[in-house]
Amino acid sequence: MNYYHIEPEVAGSLGDQTVMDTESWPPKVSRLEFQFDGWLGDELLEMFPCFICTTALADALLAGKLSGVAFESVVISKSENFLKFYPDTALPEFYWLQVIGRAGADDFGVDKNNRLVVSHTALTILKSFNVNHADINFFSNSS
């Protein structure tokens, strides 16, 4: 099966309610607040070391019975800049997409450089949603 690196849109930052253990690498997050600074509309977003996705995308990934991924709740907030520049932008509901698999073996994994790796099956589902601002490249276990 083919695997791909995917670098999702970065639309914000970790909010003040995020609880993160920085003693390990990558840092371990036990509570996530994603604070939007802007948003181009993608349904899969990244803010190292975390990913979030819309509930619609999460439902599709769950229906696909993909390996290496789990979902948890996320606190969503908007920065002052977001409120100033995008006052009428309504955000959909999001889930925290937790990557628990191995890159190149499971449908979702993180490689040695902490980059998201997805299977062809996962990528097919992702591409049926808005991921227009994500960078997608072929992944090799030797890369």
pLDDT, residue 142, reads: 60
What's the average model confidence in pLDDT over 96-105?
Answer: 96
Domain ranges of the chain: 3-139
What are the counts of helices (DSSP H) followed by strands (DSSP E) for the chain?
A: 3, 13
Q: pLDDT digits over 38-61, tens only?
A: 999 999 999 999 999 999 999 999
What's the average model confidence in pLDDT over 138-143?
Answer: 77
- Residues forming beta bridges with residue 14, ordered by sequence position: 34
Average pLDDT taken over every residue of the chain: 95
Q: Which residues contact 102 (CB under 8 A, 6 or more apart)?
A: 68, 109
- Residues forming beta bridges with residue 20, ordered by sequence position: 29
